[in-house]
Amino acid sequence: MRNRWLVILMLVVPTASPQAHQRPSSVILKVVPGQLESGQSATLTWDVGEAQAFLIGYGKISGKGSATVTPDSTTRYILIAESAGSTKRYEYRIERLVVTGARGEDEFPPLAGFTSPLYGSRNGTGYVEFHAAVCALLQSEGYAVRGDYLPHRPYVTFQTDFVLRPDLVPKGDKIRARRLALAVDVYEPKKSEPLAYSVRVRLEFQYRGETDWHAEQDKALSAAEANKLLQSLQSAK
């Protein structure tokens, strides 16, 4: 009898291994309704998956959730999300809630009147973590804070309203009052580089017997306040 050989050819096809660090799915942020009367409430909903996230106008968030908010003025909610793992990816979402019958956004002065930026950096702090620290620092000093982000810019801006600074008015001086507003830009991190940020200030004064505010003429005083903010952000938590 003729021997028969059965030859079995096995074709081994390597399967694609999953990526070591998956990119997060697109994050979601919604506010309903988008406009309301002063004193009424709206609902914020979000889904950031496993990404770390901070919501300017609300606070730290995670996963999928919702919250009821009752802002006393028109508010921009800006979501900053940072993917988990060593390969970082950043996503942003913006929702604007208009509050009628309340103070508007005009309490925040135009950035065109601020000083030139001073730059700083720090190591060992996550991108989302630093946004939370900036917001906490500004609010702890009595400022109202809003955020701003434009897709063509690689940074998020924090801006404050004016706060009166009686400590900057010498006794017996012809100046009756001074007020200060702050701005902080947080730059999207580049690989293997420290987290970078910049600060700007806007200082104004008011003469005795007047109601008008004037741009600060003492540049050294403005510079001192900018440097103070720059240093505070080095250790902000």
Q: For residue 74, give Cα distances in angstroms to 34, 37, 92, 102, 128.
A: 10, 10, 20, 8, 24
* Tens-place pLDDT, residues 160-196: 999 999 999 998 889 999 999 999 999 998 887 899 9
Which of 4-13, 22-31, 79-88, 206-215 is the most confident on average? Answer: 206-215
pLDDT for residue 102? 66
Within a domain: 28: yes
- Look up the CATH number of the domain holding residue 95: 2.60.40.10
- Look up the CATH number of the domain holding residue 209: 3.30.530.50
* 119 plus 225 within the same structural domain: yes
Domain end among 105, 138, 171: 105
* Tens-place pLDDT, residues 63-109: 999 999 999 888 999 999 998 766 778 999 999 999 987 665 568 99
Domain end among 75, 105, 135: 105
108: tokens are: 């925040």
* 92 plus 138 within the same structural domain: no
* 117 plus 233 within the same structural domain: yes
Across all residues in the chain, what is the average pLDDT? 87
> What is d(CA 236, CA 74) in angstroms, rounded to the nearest whole number?
27
Within a domain: 186: yes
* 59 plus 149 within the same structural domain: no
* 69 plus 126 within the same structural domain: no
* 119 plus 200 within the same structural domain: yes
What's 34's DSSP letter? Answer: S
Q: Which of 188, 121, 118 is nearest to 153 (CA)?
A: 188
Tell me: pLDDT of 22 over 50. no
Within a domain: 162: yes
* 81 plus 45 within the same structural domain: yes
Range of the domain at 68: 21-105
Within a domain: 215: yes
Helices (H), 90-175: 127-140
pLDDT for residue 60? 95
* 190 plus 87 within the same structural domain: no
Within a domain: 9: no
Within a domain: 12: no
Domain end among 66, 84, 105: 105
The structural domain count of the chain equals: 2
Tell me: pLDDT of 25 over 90. no
Within a domain: 97: yes
Within a domain: 152: yes
Q: Which of 200, 199, 175, 198 is nearest to 187 (CA)?
A: 198
* 171 plus 150 within the same structural domain: yes
| Cα-based torsion angle of the residue sequence 42, 56, 227, 215 in order, rounded to the nearest 10 degrees | -40
* 82 plus 117 within the same structural domain: no
